[in-house]
Structure 1
Amino acid sequence: MISISVSDDTIKIRGHAGYAPRGQDIVCAGVTAITQTLVESIEGLTGNEIKYDMSPGRVDIEIKDPDEDAQLLMDSFFVGVEMIADEFPEYVRVEIRNDLDL
């Protein structure tokens, strides 16, 4: 299972979906694609400071004081992961911590 934990300025992703064999897992691929898009978009399209560490089965993202642009990108990320979690609830879980305005 992929566990996604979200707070005001951090995102932590842990695990593998286990939906299909490695290299064929569309659930993992979907979460990975929108996660990488979030990181690259914040780096390339905003002036926000972002720290991240990605390795197989583990992602840590920290965005210092996200501005309106970064918040919009983060909100879009959450829409995407929530859609995946709704479609594949036994493979993806999203936990929102604090009071995010989503």
Structure 2
Amino acid sequence: MIQAVFHKDKEDKITSFKVEGHAGYAPSGRDVVCSAVSALVVGTVNGLEVLTDATFETSVSHGFTKVNIKEPTAYSNVLLNSMLLSLEGIQEEYPENIEVEIK
């Protein structure tokens, strides 16, 4: 199962997220859930780097991505909330394969 955990501050801005695990929906290379989640995570991190002035740190390894936003911006928050919304949509369709949590 993929676990995605988002942390928000008092102003409801996302300050970090961690996505880890494997969906187990299908064999490796054919798992549409893992592919969708991977595309969202990579696209969001790339968007943070290219499209925003947010300061952040990443930690990435196979099946694991963690991002800490040091200085959230309005643009970074839009990107991160878009990813969160998309992951929640995947969770609705594949509840056995992904769990999304907000702290």
> Is the structural similarity TM-score above 0.5?
yes
Q: How well do the aligned residues superpose, as a CA RMSD in angstroms?
A: 0.7
- Residue of structure 1 in register with 2:102 after alignment: 96
* Greater CA drift, 63-72 or 88-97: 63-72
- Give the Å deviation of 1:65: 2.4
Q: Which of 75, 85, 88 in structure 1 is aligned with 2:91?
A: 85
- Give the Å deviation of 1:50: 1.6
8 Å Cα contact 2:56-2:71 kept in structure 1:
no
Q: List structure 1 segments (4+ residues) > 6 angstroms apart after TM superposition.
A: none
Aligned residues: 97
> Which amino acid in 2 is paired with 1:2?
I
- Give the Å deviation of 1:14: 1.5
TM-score by length of 2: 0.91
Q: Secondary structure at the match of 2:25?
A: coil
> Relative to total residues, which structure has the larger strand share, 1 or 2?
2
Percent of residue pairs identical: 36
Q: Is 2:36 the counterpart of 1:30?
A: yes
- Give the Å deviation of 1:57: 1.6
Gaps of 5+ in 2: 9-14
Gaps of 5+ in 1: 98-102
